[in-house]
Amino acid sequence: MRTIGHFIAGNHVPGSAAAFTEVFNPATGEITARVALAGGAEIDAAVASAVAAQPIWAATNPQRRARVFFNYVALLNREMHALAELLSFEHGKTIEDARGDILRGLEVAEFVAGVPHLLKGEFTEGAGPGIDMYSMRQPLGVGAGITPFNFPAMIPLWMFAPAIAAGNAFILKPSERAPSVPLRLAELLLEAGLPPGVLNVVNGGKAAVDAVLAHPDIAAVSFVGSTPIARYVYAQAAAGGKRVQAFGGAKNHMIVMPDADMDKAADALMGAGYGSAGERCMAVSVAVPVGRDTGDRLVAALKPRIEALRVGPASDPASEMGPLVTREAQQRVLRYIESGIAQGAELAVDGRGFRLQGYEHGFFVGPTLFDHVTEEMDIYREEIFGPVLSVVRADNYEQALGLPMRHAYGNGVAIFTRDGDTARDFASRINIGMVGINVPVPVPLAYHSFGGWKASSFGDLNQHGTDSIRFWTRTKTVTARWPSGIRNGAQYQMPTMA
């Protein structure tokens, strides 16, 4: 059986700890590899490598750092199909979905190839008598990223590409459930011209996370995962004086107004609710039709689409939805379905009995639809992270608006309508970080920033876009006056520019 280790100082290392975990093929349930779980020794070695490599990398001028990312983009395009197959094999998502995962990460690598412009400071000539003032953005030193299983390419790239382009070294702690693609991303960046030690990949569980959060040489931490862990990461890292961004869970709503094109709304909900088996922090898990007739028409449009959805392994090009990532994830989703039934929701489409010949041991759950869900139910309040869509009916627009406004999570939200006034009011008033108008999954492009509100995000700066450069750098401001502008004699009052 293949054993997956770590990538430190440009080399694959097996790891010294005696702890391992298993990697599965989610479609078959078979164990395909085991992953060495790092302890403090591996984290220390990775950080030491990063600390040694970072000053030389930071001193490399921005154009040359940008050239590495131009090369990297070319390599990611070259390896796209192989990366997608590898990702699908460990995660379970379809090949096309895996390509989307990689492409959205690649776009951030393209964005940071413009780092010479992004790092420019400000300059004021003659700020005072003989005084010039200017600012510069400088790297923090060593950063770290802790990433989830559901986007093994995209989210690591969202983190390490801006950090490294800005002159930092980086420690990536990916999910041990899907470890192969992050390691391959590191290999390709080395091939693109990155010096060894600037990017290190260390696999591990909670012990590795805690070692990252406590390490005194790590200046900043970025995290994506569940809200309870995001709170923990934020509290622990911030207490240690680190800069932190921690992104948590979600419960994304899509409001469907009576004037919406019902076929387009239903198609949008299919992709947003069941794509990647619902294992997305931006998945739509709550549909909110406004008005009884709208609700009836929406459910009638959804049911035949759900029943026709092709569920299968990534190896089948006809598959539109794959399995969940682990047996535990499958059982958790099934428990939520049972909870919805017990708490009085109407099960319109039941995915519990899904079986696929030849893949009976895979981690599949069929697409599931609940109608007449209420705010008190667990399936509404909690993040399921599976192919379960809940319909919560609203009598009017204000009632529909209030649902996501009151919810604890604030990651993404969407509205489908033909009315510009309604759409504009919705975008202005909603207290959610990312808003879609006739767009079900409003993940911003690389040159804008990604981040939620409320219990979906902890920290002040978002991922990618200009926020990422701000997060991975700090500003130094210089006030300069040369001898010809200096008055004779000491001055004891607060300095001014007069």
pLDDT for the residue 308: 97
pLDDT for the residue 491: 76
Q: Predicted confidence band at 445 (pLDDT cuts at 50, 70, 90)?
A: very high
pLDDT for the residue 482: 85
pLDDT for the residue 132: 94
- pTM for the model stands at 0.96
Assess whether pLDDT exceeds 70 at residue 9: yes
Assess whether pLDDT exceeds 80 at residue 41: yes
Task: Report the pLDDT averaged over residues 480-493.
Answer: 77
pLDDT for the residue 407: 98
CATH, domain range 2-248+456-478: 3.40.605.10
Encode pLDDT of 72-106 as tens digits. Answer: 999 999 999 999 999 999 999 999 999 999 999 99
pLDDT for the residue 471: 98
Task: Report the pLDDT averaged over residues 201-205.
Answer: 97
Assess whether pLDDT exceeds 90 at residue 167: yes
With a CB cutoff of 8 Å and minimum separation 6, the contacts of 357 are none
Mean model confidence pLDDT for the chain: 96
Helix (H, G, I), strand (E, B) or coil at 377: coil
Instruction: Report DSSP letters for 161-191, one per residue.
Output: HHHHHTT-EEEEE--TTS-HHHHHHHHHHHH
Phi first, then psi: give them for residue 192, nearest 5 degrees: -75, -15
C-alpha to C-alpha distance for 401 and 290, rounded to whole angstroms: 10
Q: Predicted confidence band at 490 (pLDDT cuts at 50, 70, 90)?
A: confident
Assess whether pLDDT exceeds 70 at residue 485: no
Task: Report the pLDDT averaged over residues 293-306.
Answer: 98
C-alpha to C-alpha distance for 260 and 200, rounded to whole angstroms: 48
Question: Which positions are catalytic?
Answer: 281
Ordered by start, the domain boundaries in the chain are 2-248+456-478, 252-437
Using a pLDDT cut of 70, give the percent of the chain over it: 99
C-alpha to C-alpha distance for 295 and 304, rounded to whole angstroms: 15
C-alpha to C-alpha distance for 176 and 203, rounded to whole angstroms: 6
Encode pLDDT of 381-401 as tens digits. Answer: 999 999 999 999 999 999 999
Name the CATH architecture for the domain at 252-437: 3-Layer(aba) Sandwich (3.40)
